[in-house]
Amino acid sequence: MNNVKIASIGAYLPPLVVTNDKISEFVDTNDEWIVQRTGIKERRISEGENTSEISTKAARIALERAGVDPKDLDLIIVATISPDKFIPSVACLVQSNLDADKAACFDISVACSGFVYGLEIARALMNTMNYKNALVIGAEVLSKVMDWSDRSTCILFGDGAGAAVLKQDEKQGIIKSYLRSDGKKGEALTIGATDFDTPFTKEKTVSDRIIKMNGREVLRFAVGAIDDAVKEVLKDTDISIDEIKYVVPHQANYRIIKLAAEKLNLSEDKFYLNLDRVGNTSAASVPIVLNEMYEKGLFNKGDKIILVAFGGGLTYGATLVEW
């Protein structure tokens, strides 16, 4: 089996900062409620840049840091639930922007767990297809699908993109992944697609193309998911939780992380958070936070970290990585 490592990471956030106070100008909420219930203080919102554009910007940074020419990319995977279009995929749009002519490209729809799934899918293809270089992107412009009149959801999400370049290497960087889903709980978090209204439909169905969520149910699921995924990804390895320098979680809500840390009997300091400044960016959240940690110089060669995510589907998973 070929070893695969994360060679570099990059991210892009749209420049517009939207504070809680700004949101309280158009829905009945306030900074204190939002900070207390979620930990979020502000988020970035796109003023028109679409998912493929912010993906491309994050990708260019990661490629430059890895010293990889886009022409040498064998694979581009974009994890997103807010693509520019159904077709072409965001990955194909990024390929075109980068002139990454020989890459195989596709999007995956795994909501907030998308980047963690994407890493393992890329690793698998790098093995079966003997790909040398891959680009895995998590990117969202969720502001497009938000109901800006629903105070229970519009306070939570933000826009942004993060990208990782994966390379075949002598060293095993991605050690193990654990991926799970619970489709029976899917209705807890939905975004509708197209209306079903053809000359043949017996009953027309209209889709809500906005995020709808049962926040309580997702919160409960998320705490159990983090606990399960962190334990399972370490199982049958010779690595103990004490050797893990950081758990890098999907940045949804401070309360979820606090409850999960208690359940795992881990110090909250092991969990790195930036959700106060970016909110929940769904599939982009793990690479965005990884990029921030990288830029702060928090990773040393050989550090072991766990990436853990959960979200719509419902889905969840974790990746054990040696930096």
Min separation Cβ 138 and ligand UT7, Å: 12
3-class DSSP assignment, residue 194: coil
Kindly tell me which residue out of 184, 202, 216, 301 binds ligand UT7, with binding defined by CB under 6 A.
Answer: 216
Annotated catalytic, 280?
A: yes
Comparing CB distances to ligand UT7, the nearer of 75 and 284 is 284
Comparing CB distances to ligand UT7, the nearer of 121 and 213 is 213
Q: Could you give the residue ranges of the DSSP H alpha helices within 39-151? A: 51-66, 90-98, 114-128
Min separation Cβ 243 and ligand UT7, Å: 28
Measured between alpha carbons, how far is 313 from 183 in angstroms, rounded to an integer? Answer: 6
Query: Is there a contact between 308 and 318 (Cβ–Cβ < 8 Å)?
Result: yes
Kindly tell me which residue out of 2, 3, 22, 37 binds ligand UT7, with binding defined by CB under 6 A.
Answer: 37
Measured between alpha carbons, how far is 165 from 75 in angstroms, rounded to an integer? Answer: 10
Choose the binding region for ligand UT7 from 32-40, 59-67, 135-143, 168-176 (rule: CB under 6 A): 32-40
Map residues 170-209 to x or -, x wherever contact with ligand UT7 holds by CB under 6 A. ----------------------------------------
- DSSP string covering 110-171: -GGGHHHHHHHHHHHHHHHS--SEEEEEEEE-GGGG--TT-TTTTTTB--EEEEEEEEEESS
Measured between alpha carbons, how far is 188 from 150 in angstroms, rounded to an integer? Answer: 16
Q: Work out whether 311 is an interface residue with ligand UT7 (CB under 6 A).
A: yes
Place of tokens 């909420």: 29
Comparing CB distances to ligand UT7, the nearer of 81 and 90 is 81
Instruction: List the structure tokens of 179.
Output: 């991926």
Comparing CB distances to ligand UT7, the nearer of 100 and 318 is 318
Element (H, E) at 178: strand 174-181
Min separation Cβ 169 and ligand UT7, Å: 31
Min separation Cβ 267 and ligand UT7, Å: 22
Choose the binding region for ligand UT7 from 93-101, 151-159, 236-244, 297-305 (rule: CB under 6 A): 151-159
Instruction: List the structure tokens of 294.
Output: 């990288």
The count of other CB atoms within 10 Å of the CB of residue 298 is: 15
Catalytic residue among 133, 154, 250, 291: 250
Annotated catalytic, 130?
A: no
Annotated catalytic, 250?
A: yes
Measured between alpha carbons, how far is 233 from 176 in angstroms, rounded to an integer? Answer: 7
Q: Work out whether 43 is an interface residue with ligand UT7 (CB under 6 A).
A: no
Positive or negative: CA dihedral 97, 100, 101, 104: negative
Residue ranges in 81-140 that form contacts with ligand UT7 under rule CB under 6 A: 112
# chain residues binding ligand UT7, by CB under 6 A: 19
The count of other CB atoms within 10 Å of the CB of residue 76 is: 28
Q: What residues are annotated to the active site?
A: 112, 250, 280
